[in-house]
Structure 1
Amino acid sequence: MKNTIFFSLLFSTLCGYAQNQKKTIQAQATTQAIFIDGKLDEAAWENASSANNFITFEPDNGKPEPENQKTIIKIVYDNEAIYIGAMMYDNEPDKILKEISQRDNFGTADLFGAFINGFNDGQQDFMFYVSAADVQADCIMTDANGEDYSWDAVWISKAAITNDGWIVEMKIPYSALRFSAENKQTWGINFFREIKRTRYKYTWNFVDAKLGTFTQQTGALEGIENIKPPTRLFFMPYASYYLNAGEGQKTYGTMKGGMDIKYGINDAFTVDAILIPDFGQTKYDDQILNLGPFEQQFNENRAFFTEGTDLFNKGKMFYSRRIGGAPTIEPDLNENEEIIETVQNVNLINALKLSGRTKGGLGIGILNAVTEKTFATIKDTISGETRRAVVEPLTNYNVLVLDQRFRKNSSVTFINTNVTRNGHYKDANVTGLAWDLNTKANTYSLFGNVKYSTINDTKDTNGIFSTISFAETSGKYRYSVGTDFVSKNFDPNDLGINFYTNYYNVYGNANYRILNPTKRFNSFRIDYEMYSEFNKESGKVQDNKIAAELNLSTVKNNYYGIGFTASPLESHDYYEPRTSDRYVIIPRKIDFWASLSTNYNYKFALDLNPSLSIADEPGRAAYGVDIGPRYRFNDKLLLTYTFSFVKRNNNKGFIDSFDDDANENTPSTIVFANRDVITYANTISGKYAINSAMTLNLAVRQYWSSAENKDILKLEPDGTLDPYPQYTENKNSSFYSWNADLSYSWWFAPGSQLSALYRNNASNFERIIDKDFKNNFTRLLTNDALKHIFSISVKYFIDYNAVKNKLRKRA
């Protein structure tokens, strides 16, 4: 018995020692042409050294891969690219999951990935994935920002199922990577495999889940010699055609053309430029009935502003939807005048960004964009005369980021955003300093930032935002504490987005998780959180909560979550009254939620998310549910449907305000309504994959929300609400919208795409609430608001190096 214990301890120690060692693989040079066909039958593969002995990353962290599902990797290189051959053995090849999905969407399929860091500095990985269905995905990974799949490289791969498992063959051109000009290269590298039917994930070099880092736990790739970073110059010309039609509108077609350019200044820095932008096929925004005091925040769907923008997101100071967004100036109207024509979004003239990182860890990001001078047409309703008024002048947007990384896991960042408008219009500037400091062992972190905003207008204003937090980031038990301070005049919203100001807070979090599976659970985590927020001037409580939640996944890979959030104190909302220094009292409340997501490996799966909120006020409550069944008919066809319903009873909200002219010392009259708010949303998404390069996609969303006022209330100076029956104006709200996209996408060559899109959409806002759902829906689809757009776009990728090599061969 003692000997058994001794040898067990010795074995565990040796395994732990081996796992903590950085593995090394040698790349083999070749002059032989390698055909990317998923066969690994060239002689170069036989002579290459192997990387094997993968270790479990999730869920049983640290356990060796099973012998009957072992993985073997080989690497060769030439003057043009690095080649990776991977053999994923599987004793049940007929059970390999291989759903065909869109690029950057893994679907329900086994997966192989290669993670490369050309500078071997533990800071940033270029990740290249191939699924068993031969679908590519790629991203940039940093520990601070996670995986950024908006980044797209141009590379070649092929996956093939065999009798022994499946094979992946990759060709990654040097132009898709970043590395130094040294004769002898040492790159950071790791390999990844996921067996989808068991949800087990493996890495070649051990990644210890107890540590708060992924990119620093890579192996090393050696043996690459005498290669030079290529000229990274890419041209992406495009041509688009749009056909627009609508009920009662003239049908017209438009042609567009332009070019994107990507140029690598050196081995570290890249310039991206768009000339004559075209965002006509960008995904539509999911608009809602917005009853709150703040604007609706939209996701960025334009590729230029999502691709490789991790540097620009430092400090959370950049909201790219400001560029080419809605006009910012409300024109002054004379008596009997009305706006008869304006724009929803200002046109972007051009944009440019420079980004990269030196070998010493200095990241530099520069972004510049210019939008055009924009007018609205105003009409005199009596004389019929029209005039034009500026709603947005010629505007220049700039972002500068300097991010110094050190010790492989820490950084200090300087950020500046600037908006300059031509003429006598508002300018804005925000400067920030952020830091993310971690101990060498990645066990503790100190995070924070300070931001200073300046608005140059008729009256200049300045403001400050600061935050600091401390956290333990490793082990089963982790915690964090922090505090924020925001002055009243802090305003980054010309190129950023921020809603709440004039407060300070304190907060803390503690959590427990398992690092290895048990008999019942693959993952298990409990979180507890406390938050208190106070108005900076009055000291009143603006927000408070105590929250706890449990999230777990079972050994059958079903996910469950449950939690609650309680606000044990009354809070004071300084934003809903829409008037400076006024507030409304928010009663104590408690929220409950639950979540279920069944295993997506099965053809039928279900997502279910019910919620309930109860306030300490008679009849004031809210409840809702999201139900999302999905069915995978086969490896090509997938349909997902989601129904969302929310009802808020006796919701109190702002509807109007006006000044009391009889007494200047009397505060503005602020009118609230006691209302019932009901929201329905139906969404359908579908995908039919013809093959790994060609897909048909469907996206449909129907939305309807109404707010019916039952009682009119007046906000008193002490934050309470009293009846106000003398207000008789109809302020009910009803908003309904429809969006439908049917698209075809074909990647006909590396980096080159043909896409066709049919879209119809409509929306309407009314003060009269028609509760007949069928009537509402039919009227929306048959009125003049419904618009039809058909577009087709072709983008072609041209690599300067490929063109140069072809010309040399012909010569």
Structure 2
Amino acid sequence: MKLFRLSIYCFLALLNLSLFAQKKSILAKSKTKELAIDGKIEEDEWLENTETASNFIMFEPDNGKAISENKKTEVKVLYDNEAIYISALLYDDEPDKIQRELTERDVFGVADHFAVFINGFNDGQQDYRFYVSSTGVQMDCLATEEIEDFTWDAIWQSSVKITHFGWSVEMKIPYAAIRFPKSQKQSWGINFMREIKRNAQKFTWNHIDTRIGAVLTQSGTLEGIENINPPTRLFLIPYTSAYYQKDNFSADKTLKAGLDIKYGINDAFTLDAILIPDFGQTKFDNAILNLEPFEQKLDENRPFFTEGTNLFNIGNIFYSRRIGGTPIISKSTLEESLVNNEQITNYPSTVDLINAIKISGRTKKGLGIGFLNAITEKTFATIKNTNDNSSRTEVIEPLTNYNILVLDQRFRQNSSVSFINTNTSRNGNFRDANVSGLVFDLNTKGNTYNLSGDFKYSSINDTESYDGFKSFITFAKTSGKYRYLFNGKYTSKNFDSNDLGILFYTNYYSGFVNASYRILNPTKLFNTLKIEQEVNLDVDNSTNRIQNTSWIQTIITATTLKLFYFQLGINVLPFETYDFYEPRQTGRFLYIPRRFSVYLEMESNKNNNLTFDITPSIEKFDENKRFSYRIYAGPKYRFSDKFSLGFYTDYSKNSNNIGWVDSDNSGIIFAKRNIETLQNNLTGKYSINNKMTINLNARYYWSYSSNKNFYNLEDNGRLTANNSYNTNKNRNFNSWNFDFSYSWWFAPGSQLSLLYRNYSQEETNSIQRNLKQNINSVFNANMTNILSISLRYFIDYNSVKTKF
């Protein structure tokens, strides 16, 4: 009898699992009357539509658990020639406990959320995701298995209503916001998601099994959309902006105007163009004291280069900050070419962008095509002769054309093969570059195993032309509690993608192994838990010496039942390695002793009004008194659903650090030095409503490097004392940035923004260890103040056509 009951239980469990595994389907009903997108869901169109998506299933933390009756969720879908319409009733037995923080667009905050994930090609490769919070704030993104890109913004409508039973949502998503094939009958991938913030729970309509690594392939289907005739997709976004800039020496007023164009070439492809670009209100860059042999990698904040660029990021050979970045002839290189009595009086730090266009989309058969072109203007530095006060100009960046072409073929809903080419052409006798890559990502039918890799080839035409290549291959188990990954990589000495990409390490081969264990459902202690073990070994091609970029690492990540998050990382390198980049000379290397490091990242429950983050870390070398430590910490307090302030401090100290300082006739000079860095950030937000926000962002950064002893680098990578070198190579760096802004989305896609910004930067060879004096120094330096106002207005061609 016991055996019989056990068999029945097993059968029911398997039946329940198989039901979860089936793809759900919902039928969209044709709409004939106007709908008011007000969140009330009172129109007959909704009430007469009996096709309902319900029976949501928990995605996290307790994956597979059915939603309770007192939290039931009911979703309906309508459509017409212009858009699809979605209504959702989100029941909650404690409506007064629904989290409702107001934020600016694309910021989730502490609030409940409802979302729809749409894949017009139903190929399991990319979702268009539309979120709305319980306060009506919109968030949207393009999602792949690797990333959710919230820099992408679409034009759509939504409204929410808090009710006696919970809350309700209405959405209108125009066809212009998504991509789908031109067919008489549409069949889309679709899923609905609900987040209950106070419980840290997410539910989806179609079950997403976390035992399977792929999420996008586990959507349901939307049927019923037939014989639609979408309107012309032509959007014009004219803008105008005014700037007043003042520093200690001059003042300047600037008025700008321009136009962004978005045109739907057909149902699947879109042309984006910017004429007379204006990026004056983008977020400031976090300047640092950079002692590394590599340039500082900067975040991209310009909307044109962040929105909908997922195709161009395939293969990781596109770094958009190259376009309109620093000139190709550096200031130090230009200084070396100066003759006696000459000095540089004007050196532009960036190059102006003339215009840019991009075309992207995907055919019905899954072929994604992307093309991007940008042109930057010829840029000059001014050089003055101090003897006769005459001036001359020198080209530091010629007229330059940047091109990117991407072809991405998707198949079987979970695999792809891609080709990408980047080309940089500079006018005149300047460096040109071309890089091509073939990338593949193959998954088994059940998304259990993955095989991926690439082959990239670069060709540089300069005073000395050269070619190079780079390749990797990865095999991974991507499902279940236990997962693993094996990776092999080879990069030739002359591979160079830095004209339109960013690459630091070349001339090496490597092997990487990762093994992990994770819980798929909560336990008595943890909501989530993952344990990873990694081993990475990088070996120089020329010498077969192990590089310092190798590691053996253990990572434990967990969230407790009370939503306390922590991550522990232990990194050890039990053998000697070599740095082939710090000497800044080809063929030379620096010996690095054995080392050990550990960090612990902790975050309190984000639902609380007062939250706190702290991450201490320490690194110790097998060398007398050579170590470093760092602590990142900061509180954030939510005074109300509208107002919050956050502060964090990031302090680090390196004792007896070894680093390059110079090269002279005696060879390569290194120094033993102490480095201290302090960064303080203050952020604030006051949301007047879900369309108006006031933001504060202030950053003070101070770092110094104090050299104690100098050494010569020997051919074997070791150092010998240099008692004759006495040049002052100390560095003391201060930076201040302050942004105070007001933003009003007064209509869909239309924004008025007002920004006050001031910033200052100061660098000397004189070390000042007193914090107060450093702050005074940066505020007494040449402070730049900018007041700007910008207006962008979204014009839909169809609306204009109707009016006229």
For the criterion TM > 0.5, the same-fold answer is yes
Q: Does structure 2 conserve the Cα–Cα contact (< 8 Å) formed by 1:179 and 1:229?
A: no
Structure 1 position 4, deviation (Å): 4.4
Structure 1 position 3, deviation (Å): 5.4
Q: Does 1:541 align with 2:541?
A: no
Structure 1 position 395, deviation (Å): 0.3
Match of 2:96 in 1: 94
Q: Does structure 2 conserve the Cα–Cα contact (< 8 Å) formed by 1:181 and 1:229?
A: no
1:564-583 to structure 2, matched below 5 A, reads 564-583=570-589
Q: Does structure 1 conserve the Cα–Cα contact (< 8 Å) formed by 2:81 and 2:231?
A: no
Between the aligned partners of 2:414 and 2:134, the Cα distance in structure 1 is: 33
Query: Which of 568, 580, 605 lines up with 2:611 in the alignment?
Result: 605
1:181-580 to structure 2, matched below 5 A, reads 181-247=182-248, 249-329=249-329, 330-331=333-334, 332-543=337-548, 544-580=550-586
Query: Unaligned stretches of 5+ in structure 1?
Result: 661-668
Match of 1:666 in 2: none
Between the aligned partners of 2:30 and 2:635, the Cα distance in structure 1 is: 51
Between the aligned partners of 1:721 and 1:407, the Cα distance in structure 2 is: 57
Q: Which one-letter code corresponds to 1:635 in the other structure?
A: D
1:152-167 to structure 2, matched below 5 A, reads 152-167=153-168
Secondary structure of 1:285's partner? coil
Moved over 4 A (4+): 1-4
Secondary structure of 2:186's partner? strand
Q: Does structure 1 conserve the Cα–Cα contact (< 8 Å) formed by 2:105 and 2:138?
A: yes
Instruction: After superposition, give the CA deviation of every residue in 1:142-173 in whole Å (9 maximum; x if it has no partner).
Output: 22x32111111101100111110000110111
Match of 2:773 in 1: 775
Q: Does structure 1 conserve the Cα–Cα contact (< 8 Å) formed by 2:239 and 2:259?
A: yes
Between the aligned partners of 2:380 and 2:104, the Cα distance in structure 1 is: 40
Match of 2:115 in 1: 113
Between the aligned partners of 2:778 and 2:464, the Cα distance in structure 1 is: 45
Instruction: After superposition, give the CA deviation of every residue in 1:562-586 in whole Å (9 maximum; x if it has no partner).
Output: 1211111111111101111111101
Secondary structure of 1:50's partner? coil
Q: Does structure 2 conserve the Cα–Cα contact (< 8 Å) formed by 1:150 and 1:307?
A: yes
Instruction: After superposition, give the CA deviation of every residue in 1:231-283 in whole Å (9 maximum; x if it has no partner).
Output: 11100000000000112x22221100000000111111111000000000010
- How many residues get paired? 796
Q: Which one-letter code corresponds to 1:712 in the other structure?
A: F
Q: Which one-letter code corresponds to 1:786 in the other structure?
A: M
Q: Does 1:138 align with 2:136?
A: no
Instruction: After superposition, give the CA deviation of every residue in 1:671-693 in whole Å (9 maximum; x if it has no partner).
Output: 11100000000001111000000
Secondary structure of 2:218's partner? coil
Q: Does structure 2 conserve the Cα–Cα contact (< 8 Å) formed by 1:258 and 1:276?
A: yes
Secondary structure of 2:773's partner? helix
Q: Does 1:793 align with 2:790?
A: yes
Between the aligned partners of 2:490 and 2:221, the Cα distance in structure 1 is: 44
Structure 1 position 79, deviation (Å): 2.2
Between the aligned partners of 2:738 and 2:562, the Cα distance in structure 1 is: 36
Q: Does structure 1 conserve the Cα–Cα contact (< 8 Å) formed by 2:181 and 2:363?
A: no
Structure 1 position 449, deviation (Å): 0.8
Secondary structure of 1:542's partner? coil
Between the aligned partners of 1:229 and 1:446, the Cα distance in structure 2 is: 39
Structure 1 position 383, deviation (Å): 2.2
Structure 1 position 780, deviation (Å): 1.1
Q: Which one-letter code corresponds to 1:146 in the other structure?
A: I
Q: Which one-letter code corresponds to 2:29 in the other structure?
A: Q
Query: Which of 55, 58, 61 lines up with 2:60 in the alignment?
Result: 58
Distance change >3 Å, CA 78–CA 229, structure 1 → 2: closer
Between the aligned partners of 1:38 and 1:708, the Cα distance in structure 2 is: 61
Q: Does 1:805 align with 2:802?
A: yes
Match of 1:592 in 2: 598
Instruction: After superposition, give the CA deviation of every residue in 1:292-321 in whole Å (9 maximum; x if it has no partner).
Output: 100000010000000000010010000000
Q: Does structure 1 conserve the Cα–Cα contact (< 8 Å) formed by 2:710 and 2:725?
A: yes
Match of 1:709 in 2: 707
Between the aligned partners of 1:469 and 1:444, the Cα distance in structure 2 is: 11
Q: Does structure 1 conserve the Cα–Cα contact (< 8 Å) formed by 2:659 and 2:672?
A: yes
Structure 1 position 183, deviation (Å): 2.1
Match of 2:669 in 1: 671
Secondary structure of 1:216's partner? helix
Secondary structure of 1:478's partner? strand
Query: Which of 644, 656, 665 lines up with 2:662 in the alignment?
Result: 656
Secondary structure of 1:209's partner? coil
Q: Does 1:689 align with 2:695?
A: no
Q: Which one-letter code corresponds to 1:102 in the other structure?
A: E
Secondary structure of 1:225's partner? coil
Between the aligned partners of 1:174 and 1:57, the Cα distance in structure 2 is: 28
Secondary structure of 1:280's partner? coil
Instruction: After superposition, give the CA deviation of every residue in 1:647-678 in whole Å (9 maximum; x if it has no partner).
Output: 00000000000135xxxxxxxx1111100000
Instruction: After superposition, give the CA deviation of every residue in 1:73-120 in whole Å (9 maximum; x if it has no partner).
Output: 011122222110000000000000010011111110000001111222
Between the aligned partners of 1:236 and 1:655, the Cα distance in structure 2 is: 49
Secondary structure of 2:683's partner? strand
Secondary structure of 1:325's partner? coil
Q: Which one-letter code corresponds to 1:553 in the other structure?
A: T
Q: Does structure 1 conserve the Cα–Cα contact (< 8 Å) formed by 2:344 and 2:382?
A: yes
Structure 1 position 804, deviation (Å): 2.0
Secondary structure of 2:464's partner? coil
Secondary structure of 1:40's partner? coil
Between the aligned partners of 1:53 and 1:226, the Cα distance in structure 2 is: 30
Q: Does structure 2 conserve the Cα–Cα contact (< 8 Å) formed by 1:180 and 1:229?
A: no
Q: Which one-letter code corresponds to 2:394 in the other structure?
A: A
Q: Does structure 2 conserve the Cα–Cα contact (< 8 Å) formed by 1:117 and 1:187?
A: yes
Q: Does structure 1 conserve the Cα–Cα contact (< 8 Å) formed by 2:762 and 2:777?
A: no
Between the aligned partners of 1:3 and 1:598, the Cα distance in structure 2 is: 48
Between the aligned partners of 1:231 and 1:142, the Cα distance in structure 2 is: 27
Secondary structure of 2:763's partner? strand
1:630-641 to structure 2, matched below 5 A, reads 630-641=636-647
Instruction: After superposition, give the CA deviation of every residue in 1:362-389 in whole Å (9 maximum; x if it has no partner).
Output: 1111000000000000011222211000
Q: Which one-letter code corresponds to 2:740 in the other structure?
A: L
Between the aligned partners of 1:139 and 1:802, the Cα distance in structure 2 is: 25
RMSD of Structure 2 on Structure 1 (CA): 1.0
TM-score w.r.t. structure 2 length?
Answer: 0.98
Between the aligned partners of 2:409 and 2:170, the Cα distance in structure 1 is: 36
Structure 1 position 2, deviation (Å): 4.6
Q: Does structure 2 conserve the Cα–Cα contact (< 8 Å) formed by 1:644 and 1:682?
A: yes
Q: Which one-letter code corresponds to 1:401 in the other structure?
A: V
Instruction: After superposition, give the CA deviation of every residue in 1:743-794 in whole Å (9 maximum; x if it has no partner).
Output: 10000000000001000000111100111111110121122x2100010000
Q: Which one-letter code corresponds to 1:50 in the other structure?
A: T
Match of 2:46 in 1: 45
TM-score w.r.t. structure 1 length?
Answer: 0.97
Q: Which one-letter code corresponds to 2:68 in the other structure?
A: P
Distance change >3 Å, CA 390–CA 261, structure 1 → 2: same
Between the aligned partners of 2:443 and 2:271, the Cα distance in structure 1 is: 31
Q: Does structure 1 conserve the Cα–Cα contact (< 8 Å) formed by 2:737 and 2:759?
A: yes
Structure 1 position 8, deviation (Å): 2.5
Between the aligned partners of 2:463 and 2:376, the Cα distance in structure 1 is: 23
